[in-house]
Every structure is written in structure tokens, then in C-alpha cells.
Amino acid sequence: MAVYIMLADGFEEAEALVPADILRRAGVEVFLTSISGSDTVTGGHGIKVTADSKISKVDFASLEALVLPGGGKGTELLEASEAVKQLIADCSAAGKYIGAICAAPSILGKMGLLSGRRAVCYPSFEKYLEGSIITGNSVEHDDIFITAKAAGVSFDFGLELVRVLVGSDEAEKLRRDMFYGDK
């Protein structure tokens, strides 16, 4: 089981790295995947990340989930990539999980994949979720799609990915071990 998190320059760092960390804590193989030819991808706040892989190296047979972090510029570059859109289409057709957070669910919305489904995204991008049932929740899971509102819910998003891929017990254990949500 592998999760590929797509990285484009301008990605929102928390939306990629927090879920990657949580998934790895759960024992999931995670590949931070550059969509460009470069091994280094620069986030929207100037944090440089060394990718584990490139989009051309995605092993579709082992791919269990594809994750799209947001960030204005990062989302634009993800959406402009024919390779990313083909991977999304292939995952959708094969019933593989697709997670998207913040602005990134707009890509799925524009592709018509969220029509009739519960979804959430950054509020100013809701207009791109045509036909979706926009719930306003922090995280929404409908069929193979896991969407989330913004960087502030990156922990919730990561834990939902763990719940879906590994199980509720592991997600709850991680939540407790990280003291997430404790007051």
C-alpha cells in the first residue's frame, strides 16, 4: 500500500507534510512526489522539500491513495499538469482513494468527480465544486473522495486518511499518542 502526495511549487506545506507524517506514523508507505523534473519542490511559504519520487515513477499497482495538497500556486500547477489529471482519472476509474485539501478539491470539482457527493474545500473555491453537496465540515469522506477545508485541518485530514486506509483503531491511537484534540 502506497500513498502518493503530489507536490508542485507553491503547495501549502502543512497540507502535504502533516498528512505525510501521520500516515508514516501509521506504517503507510508515503511518497512525496514532484510533478516537475526537479527533486526539490518549494512550498508557498518558501520551505524547500526534497521529493521521494517523481510523477513519472508512480507505481499505479501499489498506489492505494493519491493526495493533492492545496496552496494557490500549487493547485494551479497541479491542475495544469496533464499527468496529474490523468492520474486522478485513472484513480477514479480504478476506485482508488483520492484526497484533496483546501483549494485542491476544485480540481476534482472541475473534472466532474464530486458531482452529487459530499465535499468541502477552502470557501472561495466552493464555486468550482459544481453539483457537490458542500457540507462546510472540516473533512468530508464520500466514496473514494476525502476532501478537507484548509491548512488548519491538516491533522484531521491526515487522521481521516489513516482511518480509511488502516482503520479507526489506528487513527484513534495516533490521535491519542500525538495528544491531538486534548485540552
CATH of the domain at 66: 3.40.50.880
Report residue 7 as a C-alpha cell.
Answer: 507536490
Q: 166 in a domain, yes or no? A: yes
**Residue listed under C-alpha cell 485530514:** 157
- Partner residues linked to 138 by β-bridges: none
Q: 183 in a domain, yes or no? A: no
Q: 42 in a domain, yes or no? A: yes
Q: 182 in a domain, yes or no? A: no
What's the domain count of the chain?
1
One-letter amino acid identity for 8? A
Q: Global pTM?
A: 0.97
Give, for all 183 residues of the chain, the pLDDT tens digit. 899 999 999 999 999 999 999 999 999 999 999 999 899 999 999 999 999 999 999 999 999 999 999 999 999 999 999 999 999 999 999 999 999 999 999 999 999 999 999 999 999 999 999 999 999 999 999 999 999 999 999 999 999 999 999 999 999 999 999 999 875
Q: 136 in a domain, yes or no? A: yes
**Kind and range of the H or E run holding 32:** strand 29-34
What is the rounded CA–CA span in Å between residue 60 and residue 69?
19
Q: 95 in a domain, yes or no? A: yes
The answer to whether 150 and 105 are in contact (CB under 8 A) is no
Q: 45 in a domain, yes or no? A: yes
The residue range of the domain holding 22 is: 2-177
The answer to whether 9 and 42 are in contact (CB under 8 A) is yes
- Partner residues linked to 33 by β-bridges: 6, 53
pLDDT for the residue numbered 181: 86
Q: 17 in a domain, yes or no? A: yes
**Kind and range of the H or E run holding 77:** helix 72-80
